């Protein structure tokens, strides 16, 4: 169930995979399962975003994206949530601040693909994000090198854990981040929409 506040027990390590999920796909599953294994996570919450602040395109309606994500995320450790819609947040820094206050005693870790590390310095309060929660970053075709050279990677180079220490990440004090190389998946929501298999194709916001 995606509605209601997800449950968490003090001491758990929970990964947050924020995304448009427009639609969800095997790439999301691949990095989630890898995160659970490598970072020893108790749960991963797929936080279906009301709308990425940097994307001009309007996503499909929340209920549709949530229902489809639930169909993809059939795993006992994955929870699909509408937390950001409940909190009224779209900016990750705000979401994380609210979650850490609401769930004391939980070790949250932010998960994202390499494409998002490349543009992390454009996010609202991005330093605050990096200094609040550890981050797991996953290789994505075309973005591996640019992620390593990204502004965020350069600024926080000293806080990078080697992949061999990934299991310590969730219990580490931020700033701490780890880049995970894995068999990369070229799947993307963009490609699925382009194939016409997802009904939201082509809708644009009047003004970005
Ligand atoms: N194939 C993949 N490999 C690695 N990371 C991925 C992959 N697909 C999605 N992610 C990551 O999952 C998170 C949510 O992604 P999102 O829902 O935007 O899917 P997307 O395929 O990137 O969508 P779009 O093509 O519309 O940008 C992001 O951090 C993204 O980088
Ligand atoms: O906080 C921001 O400024 C910000 C800017 C861009 C993206 N994000 C978040 O990054 C996550 C991944 O977004 P997306 O659209 O690539 O799936 C999602 O949770 C977004 O809300 C957040």
- pLDDT tens for residues 143-177? 989 999 999 999 999 999 999 999 999 999 999 99
Q: How many helices (H) and strands (E) does the chain have?
A: 9, 7
For the beta carbon of residue 163, count every other beta carbon within 10 angstroms.
13
3 state DSSP class of 76:
coil
Q: What is the CATH number of the domain that holds 21?
A: 3.40.50.620
Asked if residue 87 belongs to a domain, the reply is yes
Return the DSSP state at 183: S
Residue 138 parent element (H or E): strand 135-138
Domain with 54, as residue range(s), is 13-185
pTM: 0.96
Structure tokens at 104: 């004391």
Residue 111 Cα, ligand 1 centroid: separation in angstroms? 11
Asked if residue 200 belongs to a domain, the reply is no
Asked if residue 202 belongs to a domain, the reply is no
Asked if residue 197 belongs to a domain, the reply is no
Distances (CA, A) of 168 to 6, 69, 73, 164: 24, 29, 25, 9
**Would you say the CB of residue 91 lies under 6 angstroms from ligand 2?**
yes
**Would you say the CB of residue 92 lies under 6 angstroms from ligand 1?**
no
pLDDT tens digit at each of 208 positions of the chain: 556 899 999 999 999 999 999 999 999 999 999 999 999 999 999 999 999 899 888 999 999 999 999 999 999 999 999 999 999 999 999 999 999 999 999 999 999 999 999 999 999 999 999 999 999 999 999 998 999 999 999 999 999 999 999 999 999 999 999 999 998 889 999 999 999 889 764 454 443 3
Report helix angle 62-72 to 26-39, nearest 10.
60
The residue whose CA is least distant from atom 2 of ligand 1 is: 27
Asked if residue 192 belongs to a domain, the reply is no
**Would you say the CB of residue 27 lies under 6 angstroms from ligand 1?**
yes
Residue 52 Cα, ligand 2 centroid: separation in angstroms? 5
Asked if residue 40 belongs to a domain, the reply is yes
Asked if residue 5 belongs to a domain, the reply is no
**Would you say the CB of residue 123 lies under 6 angstroms from ligand 1?**
no
DSSP 74-115: -STTEEEE-HHHHHT--SHHHHHHHHHHHSTT-EEEEEEEHH
Ligand nearest to the CA of 186: 1
Cβ–Cβ < 8 Å for 36, 15: yes
**Would you say the CB of residue 19 lies under 6 angstroms from ligand 2?**
yes
Count: domains in the chain: 1
Asked if residue 208 belongs to a domain, the reply is no
Count Cα neighbours of 42 within 13 Å in the Cβ-side half-sphere.
13
């Amino acid at each position: 169930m995606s509605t209601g506040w997800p449950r968490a027990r003090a001491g758990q390590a929970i990964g947050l995979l924020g995304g448009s999920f427009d639609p969800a796909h095997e790439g999301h599953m691949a990095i989630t399962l890898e995160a659970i294994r490598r970072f020893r996570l108790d749960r991963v919450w797929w936080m279906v975003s009301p709308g990425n602040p940097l994307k001009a395109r309007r996503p499909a309606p929340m209920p549709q994206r949530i229902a489809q994500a639930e169909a993809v995320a059939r795993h006992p450790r994955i929870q699909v949530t509408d937390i950001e819609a409940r909190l009224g947040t779209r900016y990750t820094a705000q979401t994380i601040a609210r979650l850490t206050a609401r769930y004391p005693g939980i070790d949250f870790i932010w998960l994202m693909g390499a494409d998002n590390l490349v543009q992390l310095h454009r996010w609202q309060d991005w330093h605050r994000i990096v200094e609040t929660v550890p981050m797991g970053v996953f290789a994505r075709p075309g973005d591996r090198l640019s992620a390593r050279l990204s502004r965020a990677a350069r600024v926080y180079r000293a806080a990078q854990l080697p992949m061999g220490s990934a299991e310590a990440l969730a219990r580490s004090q931020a700033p701490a981040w780890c880049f995970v190389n894995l068999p990369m998946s070229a799947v993307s929501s963009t490609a699925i929409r382009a194939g016409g298999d997802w009904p939201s194709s082509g809708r644009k916001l009047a003004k970005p």
